[in-house]
């Protein structure tokens, strides 16, 4: 139950953060979506042993979070959730890639450990960018931007409806889990009881979906969700897109971290 309620509160917190009024929030959602997609492509384009070259890319989520006045603790806590999943994927690399890539005294690292670190960094970068995009745009704004960029309306509507009614499903799941906890008197429920509860939840979701569809038809639903917030792609959005795309190109083709290290070494020599 706590995990279900925590998930619902995280979704609601993102919607609350998207209602703020900052220079990033006021930008057209299409500009933010294009820049974040370009950022994800840039991160994914690095070779598998890239570690130091990925570090300067953290400037993008840090700058966006600062301009959007987003809470650092909330972002860090949610981004950290990606670390275990990335480690589950990356920890297999040292078993297959044992070629020695780095050695400093007694410390030696194989290519598998370096690629594992690269996977973790990529997960942190992409998840932080996606989370910040939702926090400064809102899910409906992102869907509207995707439709404006050419995504089929059918897919956009599916995403909007899933997000809009996922809170109803989460509330039903939280109530069912709470009822199971109360009726089990602190004891571990039997597998048969849990299976019956899951089946009941599926049937209730089916009935709720039919009720929602009937209510939408009664309110003259025509297959389109209208948004009260309007935006325009202007000069600020153009500068935002061009500036970040240029920065991504520089960070992709030049190892900024290595260049800074060489400059520092020359300064001390």
Mean pLDDT of 82-109: 75
Note the pLDDT of residue 63: 94
Q: What local confidence, expressed as pLDDT, does residue 4 receive?
A: 56
- Looking at the predicted structure, is the pLDDT value of residue 136 above 80? yes
| Helical residues (DSSP H) of the chain, grouped into ranges | 2-17, 29-44, 59-67, 72-79, 82-90, 93-96, 111-137, 139-148, 153-183, 191-218, 235-253, 256-268
Question: Residue 186: what pLDDT?
Answer: 64
**Rounded mean pLDDT, 210-232:** 72
* Percentage of residues in the chain having pLDDT higher than 70: 87
Q: Give the pLDDT confidence score for residue 146 in this predicted structure.
A: 87
Per-residue pLDDT at 69 exceeds 60: yes
pLDDT over 70 (residue 229): no
Mean residue pLDDT across the chain? 82
- pLDDT over threshold 90, residue 116: no
- Rounded mean pLDDT of 159-176? 77
**Domain boundary assignment for the chain:** 19-137+232-262
pLDDT beyond 60 at 121: yes
Q: How far apart are the first and last CA of the chain?
A: 59
5-9, 153-157, 170-174: lowest mean pLDDT where?
Answer: 5-9
Q: Of residues 27 and 204, which shows the higher confidence score?
A: 27
More confident residue, 178 or 133: 133
Place of tokens 């690269």: 118
SS3 83: helix
Would the pLDDT of 244 be above 90? yes
Q: Is the pLDDT assigned to residue 242 strictly greater than 90?
A: yes
171 is written with which tokens? 């509330």
Encode pLDDT of 13-66 as tens digits.
888 888 888 999 999 999 999 999 999 999 999 988 888 889 999 999 999 999
Token pair belonging to 146 = 């995707």
Residues of the chain above pLDDT 90, percent: 26
- Weakest-pLDDT range from 147-161, 197-211, 236-250: 197-211
**Per-residue pLDDT averaged across 240-258, rounded?**
89
């Amino acid at each position: 139950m706590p995990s279900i309620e925590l998930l619902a509160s995280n979704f609601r917190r993102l919607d609350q953060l998207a209602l703020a009024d900052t220079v990033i929030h006021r930008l057209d959602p299409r500009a933010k979506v294009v820049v974040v997609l370009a950022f994800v492509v840039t991160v994914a384009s690095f070779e598998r042993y890239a570690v130091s070259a990925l570090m300067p890319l953290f400037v993008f989520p840090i700058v966006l979070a600062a301009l959007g006045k987003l809470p650092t603790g909330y972002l860090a806590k949610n981004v950290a959730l990606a670390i275990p999943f990335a480690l589950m994927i990356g920890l297999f690399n040292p078993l297959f890639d044992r070629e020695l890539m780095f050695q400093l005294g007694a410390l030696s690292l194989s290519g598998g450990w370096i690629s594992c670190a690269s996977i973790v960094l990529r997960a942190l970068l992409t998840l932080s960018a996606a989370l910040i995009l939702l926090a400064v745009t809102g899910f409906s704004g992102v869907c509207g931007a995707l439709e404006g960029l050419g995504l089929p309306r059918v897919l956009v509507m599916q995403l909007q409806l899933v997000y809009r009614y996922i809170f109803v499903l989460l509330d039903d799941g939280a109530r069912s889990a709470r009822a199971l906890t109360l009726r089990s008197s602190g004891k571990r429920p039997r597998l048969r009881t849990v299976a019956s509860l899951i089946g009941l939840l599926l049937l209730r979701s089916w009935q709720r979906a039919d009720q929602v569809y009937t209510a939408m038809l009664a309110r003259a639903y025509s297959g389109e969700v209208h948004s009260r917030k309007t935006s325009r792609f202007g000069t600020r959005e153009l500068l935002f897109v061009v500036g970040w795309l240029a920065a991504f190109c520089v960070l992709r083709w030049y190892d900024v971290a290595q260049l800074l290290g060489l400059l520092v070494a020359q300064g001390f020599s």
